[in-house]
Amino acid sequence: MLIPIAAILMAVVLLMAWTRGWLGAARLTPQDMVNTAQAGSPHPGFRRAHAKGICFSGSFTPAPAAAGLSIARVFSQPSTPVVGRFSNPGNDPHAQDRQAAVRGMALRMRTDDGQEWRLAMNSFPFFAAATPEGFQAMNVAKLPDPATGKPDPEKMKAVLARYPEIANFIAWSKTAATPDSLANTRFNGVNAFRLTDAQGRVRAVRWSMRPHTPFAAADPARLAAADRDFLAADLDRRLAQGPLEWDMVMQFAAPGDVIEDPSRPWPDTRPEQVAGTLKLVRAEPQANGPCKDLNFDPLILPKGISGTDDPVLHARSAVYSVSFNRREREVSQGAGKEEGAR
Ligand code: HEM
């Protein structure tokens, strides 16, 4: 009798160990993800991803009906100051803007009750992978093979077989038109969050920043000849004419929609509501700008907005903290002042 009970107990322990990642391949850590992001090209003092950036400031004004969305103070206070950052992906603070098919927008809003809401969005409409493991496997497969100096296509094939959702992202990236300006780029939160209203009703949403400036696709020939920092120059030129605006659009999940997987967008037919408008009035180089030493951790949320169990969201929070700690340590030792880095 004792032997079967011991066998059952052992099986339960093994199952628990397996599901928690204690068996088999070593558990993926935030340090592993940052090491991969910075592989091959160290730029001490800079973000390990989205290293090239432009600081901006402005304000967020809620729409009249926004207070009904969530008790978050940002939706009832007349206006909230914003510090933000536009960025290009990759770990090179000197990268050519023409290579940045994807662009980022990060925001930090601090309301009069001292609460903060930090957001980091990208111009892609959905994320490449459903899990941190898939994203990491894709990034490892993209690293140059030491033997050839180029990524090994067989490794990417194996990744696609294991994480098939990544093929959707590759297909999107082959067809998506690149906007010719940051001003007419739509930025998407991609991960879902939950809003709680004054009645205690909780709704899952995804947010996007929809530009007031009409979309114009970058002309491929002009893009190929564009200056390294043409996005910042274009932004300065436009801001000299007046503020730039984006509407924050909330998309609501319907029953049955998958909430915890950023690689699976919800259908466009889901209801939407404009929660407010971001007005951007000033841009400045990140070197001494107010966004430089910020960590736009997407889990820094005010009361009334909460995260979900999406593993990518939680990985982001942990990974940004590792990247932030590395770069701030290096800055305190005098790094991060590379000439020409915006
Ligand atoms: C597991 C998945 C992800 C990993 C490992 C990752 C990694 C990173 C790292 C290392 C940084 C630099 C953080 C810092 O030093 O402050 C960063 C910044 C950023 N990430 Fe991610 N990221 C992930 C997913 C995403 C997603 C889903 C989005 C958008 C929807 C996104 C948007 C951004 C943006 C906009 C920035 C720049 C923020 C700033 O301006 O400081 N990331 N990411």
**pLDDT tens readout for residues 170-217:** 999 999 999 999 999 999 999 999 999 999 999 999 999 999 999 999
CATH-assigned architecture of domain 52-125+180-308:
Beta Barrel (2.40)
Inter-residue contact 336 to 45 (CB < 8 Å): yes
Lowest mean pLDDT among 32-46, 123-137, 175-189: 32-46
pLDDT at 51: 97
Crossing angle, helix 132-142 and helix 153-162, to 10 degrees? Answer: 170
Pocket of ligand 1 (CB under 6 A): 33-34, 37, 47-50, 53, 85, 87, 104, 106, 120-122, 127, 132, 135, 189-191, 262, 295-296, 312, 315-316, 319-320, 323-324, 327
Reply yes or no on whether 94 is catalytic. Answer: no
Model confidence pLDDT, tens digit, residues 331-342: 999 998 775 555
CA-based end-to-end distance of the chain:
71
Tell me the DSSP string of 41-71.
Answer: ---TTS-SSS-EEEEEEEEEEE-TTGGGT--
Q: Which of 33, 46, 308, 316 to mutate to test the pocket of ligand 1 (most atoms within 8 A of CB)?
A: 316
Lowest mean pLDDT among 4-18, 46-60, 64-78, 271-285: 4-18
Inter-residue contact 142 to 153 (CB < 8 Å): no
Inter-residue contact 216 to 192 (CB < 8 Å): no
CA of 85 from ligand 1 middle (Å) equals 12
CA of 84 from ligand 1 middle (Å) equals 14
Residues 6+ apart with CB under 8 A from 142: 151, 156
Distance from C-alpha of 326 to C-alpha of 30, rounded to nearest angstrom: 12
Assigned token pair, 332: 């305190």
CA of 104 from ligand 1 middle (Å) equals 9
119-152: string of b/e by CB count within 10 Å (b at 16+)?
bbbbbbebbbbbbbbbbbbbbbbeeeeeeeeeee
Inter-residue contact 177 to 213 (CB < 8 Å): no
In terms of Cα–Cα distance, which of 60, 58, 114 is closest to 303?
114
Q: What is the DSSP pairing of strand 202-211 with strand 272-285? A: unpaired
Tell me the DSSP string of 112-143.
Answer: TTS-EEEEEEESSSS-S-SSHHHHHHHHHHHS
pLDDT at 156: 97
Model confidence pLDDT, tens digit, residues 140-162: 999 999 999 999 999 999 999 99
Q: Kindly report the pTM of this predicted structure.
A: 0.93
Lowest mean pLDDT among 5-9, 98-102, 144-148, 215-219: 5-9
Assigned token pair, 254: 């319907």
- Residue 72: pLDDT over 80: yes
Instruction: List the domain boundaries for the chain.
Output: 52-125+180-308
pLDDT at 15: 41
- Looking at the chain, the whole-number percentage of residues with pLDDT higher than 90 is 87
